[in-house]
Structure 1
Amino acid sequence: MDSQPELPIPISYVSGRYLLHSIEAVTYLRREHHICGVLIGTLPQIPQQNVFLGLPLELMPEEARLLVDKDVACIVDEAKAQKGMNNLLEEDRRRYLRELEAEGLHYTRLQVDLKDSKREQTMKKLEEKKAKAGAKAKAVAAAAAAQTQTSEGAAPKSSMKDAAVVDLFAPDDTRSSSPATSTPSQSAMAITPATSYPPLPTPPSSTHLAAPAVPPSYPLFAHLHSRGYFLSPGLRFGCQYMAYPGDPLRFHSHFLVVSYDWDQNIDLMDLIVGGRLGTGVKKGFLIGGAQRTIDEVDSEADRVDTVRAFSLEWAGM
C-alpha cells in the first residue's frame, strides 16, 4: 500500500495512551518514518489472544513526540473529538453511510467472485477425474473383451457387463454441465469503520494537545532514530529500547539500548551485566545520553544534537 495519508496524521489520545486506528497511517509511518509501535487490538471472540494482534497501534510517548516534532502528526483528545459526532450534519452522516454501504457491496462482490472461482476449479478437477476413470474403465473393458471373445457372434455376457461398467464411469454430459447454483444475496457486507476521521473532519490545530511528555531517554531515542534505526520497547531484554538496523520484520536487533544522564554515576555492575547479556543474545550493549556543557542547555532539540553513545561487547565468549 503506497498511499500517503493526509498530514498531519491525528494520533488519538485515549486514557493516557497514544493510538493509531488507520491502517494507511500505520503503514505510512512504518515505511517512511521508521515508526513501528505495538499492536494491541484483539478479536472480540478471542480477548486473551497474545500472538496475532491487530489495530489499534499503540505508540510510545517518544514515538508520538518525534512525529509531532517533525510535523508529521498531531495529538487529538479522542474523547472530546467524539462529542463532535452529535454535531455532524445529517447530510454528511447519510453520505458517509452511503460510502460505507458501497464499500461493503464492493467487498461482497469480491467474495462472491472468489467463491465462484473456487467452485469452477473444483468442477474442473471433478470432470478431469471422471474422464480419467472413464478412459481407464474403457481400457479394462477392451482388454477383457479381447480375451473372452471366442466367435464373431454376439458379444458374451461378460462384455455386456463390461459395457455396463464403461457406461457407469463414463462422463455424463448432463451431469457435467454447469449446475444450477443459487445466486448469493448481493446485500452489502457490514463495514465497521476503525477511524474517526472520516466521518469527522480533522480537528483544527487550535484543538491539538501539547506535545507528549517524554522520559529523559528521549534525546538518545531521537538520536538513534535520526541515524536510521528502528526502535522498539526493550522490556523483554531488560533494557529501554531495542535498536534495529532496518525493519524488525527483516532484521534482528543490533543493540540493547539504555540511556543515562550526562553526569549520572553508572554502577560498574550494570555495565558488566548489560555487556554480558548483550553478548549472550548476540547484540551490543549501547549506552548514551545528551552531552551537557558548562552552559546548561535548555532546548530539547539542542540536547538531541549533542547526544553521545558508546557500545560494549564482551570478546572471547
Structure 2
Amino acid sequence: MDFQPTLPIPISFISGRYLLFSIDAVTYLRREHNTCGVLIGTLPQIPQQNVFLGLPLELMPEEARLLVDKGVACIVDEAKAQKDGMQSLLEEDRRQYLRELESQGLQAARIVAGRKEQQKEDYFKKSLEKKGKKKPNVQSKETSNGDPTASPTGPSTANDEPASLGDFFAGDSSSSRGTSNSTPNPQHTYGVTPTTSYPPLPHPSASSDAILSRPDVPLSYPLFAHMHTRGYFLSPGLRFGCQYVAYPGDPLRFHSHFLVVSAEWDQDINLMDIIIGGRLGTGVKKGFLLGGPQKEKPEDGSEIERTESVRTFSIEWAGM
C-alpha cells in the first residue's frame, strides 16, 4: 500500500539548502508530484562513496517553491525547530525514545543472527549431500575371522564423516540452532541511527516561528513550473551545460528529451549560443529547449509580465 504522509511535508532548511530526510516523503513526492531532487548522503563507512548516494535528498529552490505553492510542503528552519523542540521535550520522552531505538537494534540483531544460522545450516546440508553422492571406499573382503560378508570393525579415523546434521552441532557450545530466537548480547546489539528527529521532537505547527516563507527562486522558475505542469520531471542540467534536463517520465524509466534553458522575453541572445545549444542537444540525442515568461504591452504603454503564459522553442541541429 502506498504511503500517504501528513501534509504539508516539512522540508528542512539547513545552511541554505532544502533537504528531505524521510524516505517515505521522498518516495511520495517522486511518485505523486514528479519531484526527484538529488541524493547527497554517504555512508559513514564509505566516505568516498560516489556512485550510489543516499539520504538526505536535496531539492532545488524551484522544486521547494513549487511544492510550497501547491500546498504539499512547508519550509522549516531546522536549527530553530530543533532548539524549540528540545526545550519542550521532557526527560521521560527522551528515555522512551532511546528505549525504542534499543528495541529496534535488538530486533535487527535477532534477524541477522537468524539469517547467519540459516546460512550455516544450508551450507552443512549441502556438504552432507555432496558427501553422500560420492562413491564409498572399496573395503577388503577379508576380515579377521575370514568371513567375507562381515562388516569391518575398528576405531574410527579422523576422516570419518558425521552420520547426521545434528552431529555437526553436537558439542558445539558456540553454535545453537535456536540462536535466532535468543536475545543477542548487549555488545552485539545494532545501533540505530534515525534519519529524522520527528519523533521525538514534535512537528512545527503552521503558526510556529520555525516555518519560513516561500523560497527565493531564480528567474527561470516560470519555465520550470511550466514544464512541470506538462508532466515533465526536471533535474539539474549542469552535466549537459544547461539549466534543467527534462524527462517525459521518471528518470529511472526514461531518457531525457530536452536540454532546458530559460531566457527573459526581451533578453538579447547571441546567435552562437543558440547554435551551440542546438548542436549539443542533437549530439546527445536531445532537443534544445529555450523559453521564458511572455510579456505583453497594453494599449496604455505600460508593461505587464504574464508569468502564467510561457512560450518555448525547441531547436534541433539538422544536416542538409
- Normalised by the shorter chain, which TM-score bucket? 0.7 to 0.9
Q: 1:254 to 1:96 in 2, by over 3 A?
A: same
What is the CA–CA distance in structure 2 between the aligned matches of 1:95 and 1:127, rounded to whole Å?
48
Matched, 1:119 2:112: no
What is the CA–CA distance in structure 2 between the aligned matches of 1:118 and 1:48, rounded to whole Å?
31
Residue matched to 1:130: 131
**Structure 1 unmatched runs, 5+:** none
What is the CA–CA distance in structure 2 between the aligned matches of 1:7 and 1:231, rounded to whole Å?
23
1:131 touches 1:171 (CA, 8 Å); kept in 2?
Answer: no
Q: Which amino acid aligns with 2:163?
A: D
What is the CA–CA distance in structure 1 between the aligned matches of 2:162 and 2:48, rounded to whole Å?
52
Deviates most, 43-52 or 23-32: 43-52
Q: Which amino acid aligns with 1:172?
A: A
2:296 touches 2:304 (CA, 8 Å); kept in 1?
Answer: yes
1:130 touches 1:169 (CA, 8 Å); kept in 2?
Answer: no
What is the CA–CA distance in structure 2 between the aligned matches of 1:86 and 1:7, rounded to whole Å?
25
Q: 1:257 to 1:108 in 2, by over 3 A?
A: same
1:210 corresponds, among 203, 210, 213, to: 213
Matched, 1:76 2:79: no
CA deviation profile, 1:136-187 (whole Å, cap 9, x unmatched) = 12xx52xx76xx88xxx5349xx969x9999956552362466551546254
What is the CA–CA distance in structure 2 between the aligned matches of 1:78 and 1:167, rounded to whole Å?
66
What is the CA–CA distance in structure 2 between the aligned matches of 1:42 and 1:168, rounded to whole Å?
49
What is the CA–CA distance in structure 2 between the aligned matches of 1:2 and 1:264, rounded to whole Å?
45
Residue matched to 1:313: 316
Q: 1:254 to 1:31 in 2, by over 3 A?
A: same
Identity %: 65
The secondary structure found in structure 2 opposite 1:212 is coil
Paired residues, number: 300
Residue matched to 2:90: 89
- The alpha carbon displacement at 1:268 in A equals 0.8
More helix by share: 1
1:175 corresponds, among 149, 167, 178, to: 167
CA deviation profile, 1:58-113 (whole Å, cap 9, x unmatched) = 11000000110011110011111111213312232223223222322222222222
**Structure 2 unmatched runs, 5+:** none
Deviates most, 229-238 or 90-99: 90-99
2:109 touches 2:184 (CA, 8 Å); kept in 1?
Answer: no
- The alpha carbon displacement at 1:29 in A equals 0.9
What is the CA–CA distance in structure 2 between the aligned matches of 1:164 and 1:313, rounded to whole Å?
87
TM-score, L = length of structure 2? 0.84
2:110 touches 2:184 (CA, 8 Å); kept in 1?
Answer: no
TM-score, L = length of structure 1? 0.85
Q: Which amino acid aligns with 1:285?
A: F
Residue matched to 1:18: 18
